[in-house]
Amino acid sequence: KAGVTQTPRYLIKTRGQQVTLSCSPISGHRSVSWYQQTPGQGLQFLFEYFSETQRNKGNFPGRFSGRQFSNSRSEMNVSTLELGDSALYLCASSYRGTGELFFGEGSRLTVL
């Protein structure tokens, strides 16, 4: 069974640009959540989607947005990038929001 797939794995952007990250959950998993991981703050919840609906949102500015498609694949977008957005962005899926998360390998974003 394929795991959670995230693309791209690495990317470098400059301040002011925008970025879109993609996540394909484990087959059959309908819940997708996104987390940001930085050395100082650890893992912080961004948002969660279930059946194309945003179920929860973390305490991040409106520059961070996401969506989920009918096939459960999800994307997140960060607009007007800032240096502080440099982080590992992790996507996780679960069958139906049990907290038992399966994480992808992450997309490492560097903002210059």
Partner 1 sequence: QKEVEQNSGPLSVPEGAIASLNCTYSDRGSQSFFWYRQYSGKSPELIMFIYSNGDKEDGRFTAQLNKASQYVSLLIRDSQPSDSATYLCAVRLGGGTDKLIFGTGTRLQVFP
Compare residues 18 and 97 and give the one whose CB is closer to partner 1: 97
- Please select the residue that binds partner 1; options are 13, 22, 58, 67, rule is CB under 8 A: 58
Dihedral in degrees, nearest 10, Cα atoms 106, 54, 51, 8: -20
Q: Does 55 engage in binding with partner 1 (CB under 8 A)? A: yes
Site for partner 1 in 68-107 (CB under 8 A): 90, 92, 94, 96-106
CB neighbours of residue 71 within 10 Å: 10
Q: Which of 20, 26, 28, 24 is nearest to 3 (CA)?
A: 26
The label of the residue with tokens 């470098």 reads 12
Hey, what amino acid is at 95? Y
What secondary structure letter does DSSP report for 26?
P
**What order of strands is seen across the sheet that includes strand 64-68?**
5-7, 19-24, 74-78, 64-68
Region binding partner 1 by CB under 8 A among candidate stretches 14-22, 44-52, 59-67, 68-76: 44-52
In the complex, minimum distance from the CB of residue 96 to partner 1, in angstroms, rounded to a whole number? 8
Q: Name the segment binding partner 1 (CB under 8 A); options: 12-20, 38-46, 63-71, 74-82.
A: 38-46
Q: Applying CB under 8 A, which residues contact partner 1?
A: 31, 33, 35, 41-45, 48, 55-56, 58, 90, 92, 94, 96-106
